[in-house]
Structure 1
Amino acid sequence: MIHDDALALLASWTPPSPHDETLRDRYLAHLRSRPDGLLKSCFPDHLTAGAIVVSPDASAVLLNHHRKADAWLAFGGHIEPGDATLAAAARRELVEESGLTDFDFDPTPLSLDEHAVDFCSDRGTVHHLDVRFVATAVPDDDHVVSDESLDVRWWPVDALPQTFDDMYRLIDVAITRVAQSTLPLSPS
């Protein structure tokens, strides 16, 4: 069921950049050739889902210092058997990794990212084909640090921590979407 949802969602999605369009086409080809393409067991590539959390005024982002990656990242991870949609998987990962319960969530993908991960499989390096969404929440202390993180913290957009270049791109895209949004996000 989630396989069909992922195909339909990505096929109908209008990518915001040529980079995202290239990745969307790669993800669609992967899903069409691999019925197991969403599962962690699919080697060496599988889809993952995640969300970046932005304050409603687009002035801050909530990030987690990921334990295994040892880097400040958005929230996300593997698709699990109970996930009905990619958006549901991203929401679940957000809640598990941040403890947030009060947030709004946009079910339209924000961006795509493919990245190699050395610690995901004992068979070698895998590629996460990440589908990213955006959520908004009021910056406060209503978050927790999960077992997967060393820290979870709100960062002003003008004082971000050291991270990967792609995270800065994702933050820029998320801030722009939230700042320009005229449609209400759906409640969590």
Structure 2
Amino acid sequence: MIRNNILELLRVYRSDDPLENSMLQDTIQFIEEHPDCFERSLLVGHVTGSAWILNRECTHALMMHHKKLDKWFQPGGHCDGDPDVMAVAAKEAWEETGVTVEPVSTAVFDVDHHMIPENKGVPRHTHYDIRFLFRANKTADELPSNPEAKAVRWIPLEEVENYNSTPSIMRLVKKSLG
């Protein structure tokens, strides 16, 4: 079963945050109930992979201003059938930022789910987002442009709330600050 690896990672993951624990249980249940959970064609929702990227000093996070949603987020995207969610997160990080990253750990860093609004004939649906922690091999002063983003920027952790203060993003910052 291609879902076993991610289910194992999720079953051993623990959070101090009650809301995240609820989303973790929802995500496990969703994956167990949907063999095609990694496919974008599953219109009720699907698993996505995200990369929370810190610089070597762990003082800045790499974020992008998403064009479609007009909000700042961590890089990430659809699995498109790939059950290796960490590999998906790393691939999306490279595609969306041009920055080479390496995983800090193979463990899950955070779990979230959120509604995506209807867009271009795709109905409203849920993204079950599994996040992994990465460090950038190098922090470039100039980041390449990305057709999916209005901007890509290294943001000091203390300033992330000025870009996106949602509980989901602030939880990532809190974990990063230890």
With the shorter chain as reference, the TM-score category is 0.7 to 0.9
User: Equivalent residue for 1:85?
Assistant: 84
Amino acid in the other structure paired with 2:32: R
Helix, strand or coil at the partner of 1:35: coil
Question: Partner of 1:168 in structure 2?
Answer: 170
Alpha-carbon distance, 1:121 to partner:
6.5
User: How much is the aligned-residue C-alpha RMSD, in angstroms?
Assistant: 2.0
Asked if structure 1 preserves the Cα contact closer than 8 Å seen for 2:51 and 2:93, the reply is: yes
Letter matched to residue 58 of structure 1: C
Secondary structure in 2 aligned to 1:154?
strand
Q: TM-score if structure 2 supplies the norm length?
A: 0.87
Alignment of 1:19-168 (within 5 A): 19-81=19-81, 83-101=82-100, 103-105=101-103, 106-119=105-118, 122-137=121-136, 138-141=138-141, 143-160=143-160, 161-165=162-166, 166-168=168-170
Report deviation, 1:26: 1.1
Structure 1 vs Structure 2: percent identity of aligned residues? Answer: 25
CA 1:13–1:95: 2 relative to 1, 3 Å = same
Q: Under a length normalisation based on structure 1, what TM-score does the superposition of the two structures give?
A: 0.83
Q: Is the 8 A contact 1:99 1:143 kept in 2?
A: yes
In structure 1, distance between residues paired with 2:140 and 2:120: 35
- How far apart, CA to CA, are the structure 2 residues paired with 1:120 and 1:96? 22
Equivalenced residue count is 174
- Cα 1:84–1:141 shift into 2, 3 Å: farther
Unaligned runs of at least 5 residues, structure 2: none
Cα 1:14/1:159, change in 2 over 3 Å: closer
CA–CA distance in 2 between the matches of 1:14 and 1:55?
Answer: 25
User: Kindly tell me: are residues 48 and 84 of structure 1, through their superposed partners in 2, closer, same or farther at Cα, counting changes over 3 Å?
Assistant: closer
Which shifted more, 159-168 or 122-131? 159-168
Instruction: Point out 4+ residue stretches in structure 1 off by more than 6 angstroms.
Output: none
